[in-house]
Amino acid sequence: ICWSVRGGWHRPRVSPYGPISLDPAAAVLHYGQEIFEGIKAYRHADGSVHTFRPDQNGRRLQRSARRLALPELPVPYFLQSLRELIAVDGAWVPSGEDQSLYLRPFMFAKEAFLGVRPAHKVAYYLIASPAGAYFKGGVKPVSIWLSEDYSRAGKGGTGAAKTGGNYAASLLPQSEAYENECDQVVFLDQDRNVEELGGMNVVFVYKDGTIVTPQSDSILEGITRDSLLQLARDRGHNVVGRNVSLTEWREGVASGDIVEVFACGTAAVVTPIGVLKGRDFIDEQPTGTLALELREELTNIQYGRAEDKHGWLYRLDA
């Protein structure tokens, strides 16, 4: 799906998947003026197709647009684009355990010029790809590499926006994580507070049942995290957003105050953190059951196996 803007959104067009033609001077290629979203469509047992809290993705796309000086796509248009794509061929949404259609909306500066300024000609696209289970053979705890040399975003930067530059900045630290036999990288802020992983938020569970998650205006506000924390509140957990320093994390685990650490995002949903590794330490992380229970509860809602008590599902095929 492709829409373009030049003084208002116009020319919606659904076309077969294929290359985009772009002027070599297109602003996006030089200045990275682009944003995106990630969202999944799920097929329920009765065949219907639903997505999860797409209004939140639509609003986050608008916040990202503001930060990147791109025009805001109205949320109703955003929702319409998702429905139109499914209307082309609903069979694209696979059925079966943990299967989904991954939807990737994105917007970029198409205008060709070489000076540095916001572009006036912008395109919005939506592409899709079937996604299988993130974990083959069951959910496994991940190992996390602590990035000491690199940050993902700074104060006042673009950390809260879903824009390519943030991910570009995380590629090198992510390869450092692989070199150190870790699955993912965790970033700290300038005060050594925990921020997030390359593509997931982090959550800490304390012995007294309190759940703490980093609150910062330089991390992406995950929709999965927000939903899991709501489910935790429904169960009576006290949920707090605040700074968590690396020292608090490591000492909390050592003293038994922190009983579980997990990461969450649309792709993996929830994954327990099994190990935190730094240049000169390896901390085994405690394992609990809350992360997996919340994961089960959330995926049951997404796949229509449990009551959607918060009204989070949005039907795409009707």
Point out which residues bind ligand PMP (CB under 6 A). 38, 196, 199-201, 220, 222-225, 265-266
Which one, 37 or 111, has the nearer CB to ligand PMP? 37
Residues ≥6 apart with Cβ < 8 Å to 110: 4, 22, 23, 26, 27, 28, 119, 121, 122, 123
> In the bound complex, what is the minimum distance in angstroms from residue 55's beta carbon to ligand PMP?
13
> In the bound complex, what is the minimum distance in angstroms from residue 38's beta carbon to ligand PMP?
5
Which one, 141 or 222, has the nearer CB to ligand PMP? 222
> In the bound complex, what is the minimum distance in angstroms from residue 317's beta carbon to ligand PMP?
22
Alpha-carbon torsion (22, 27, 29, 30), positive or negative? positive
Which one, 54 or 265, has the nearer CB to ligand PMP? 265
- Residue 308 tokens, joined: 């959607």
Phi-psi region of 62 (alpha: psi -120 to 50; beta: other; left: phi over 0): alpha
> In the bound complex, what is the minimum distance in angstroms from residue 307's beta carbon to ligand PMP?
22
> In the bound complex, what is the minimum distance in angstroms from residue 41's beta carbon to ligand PMP?
14
Amino acid at the residue 51: T
> In the bound complex, what is the minimum distance in angstroms from residue 242's beta carbon to ligand PMP?
18
Which one, 61 or 220, has the nearer CB to ligand PMP? 220
> In the bound complex, what is the minimum distance in angstroms from residue 190's beta carbon to ligand PMP?
18
Which one, 33 or 64, has the nearer CB to ligand PMP? 64
Which one, 125 or 167, has the nearer CB to ligand PMP? 167
Q: DSSP per residue over 186-220, as a string?
A: EEE-TTSBEEEESS-EEEEEETTS-EEEE--TTS-
Which one, 53 or 110, has the nearer CB to ligand PMP? 53
* Alpha helical stretches, state H, the chain: 27-31, 54-67, 75-88, 164-179, 223-234, 246-255, 290-302
Which one, 201 or 271, has the nearer CB to ligand PMP? 201
Q: Distance of alpha carbon 25 from its chain centroid, rounded?
A: 30
- Residue 118 tokens, joined: 């916001």
CB 285 within 8 A of CB 253: yes
- Angstrom distances, CA of residue 302 to CA of 42, 44, 53, 229, 282: 7, 9, 10, 15, 35
**Pairwise CA distance, residues 110 & 5, whole Å:** 10
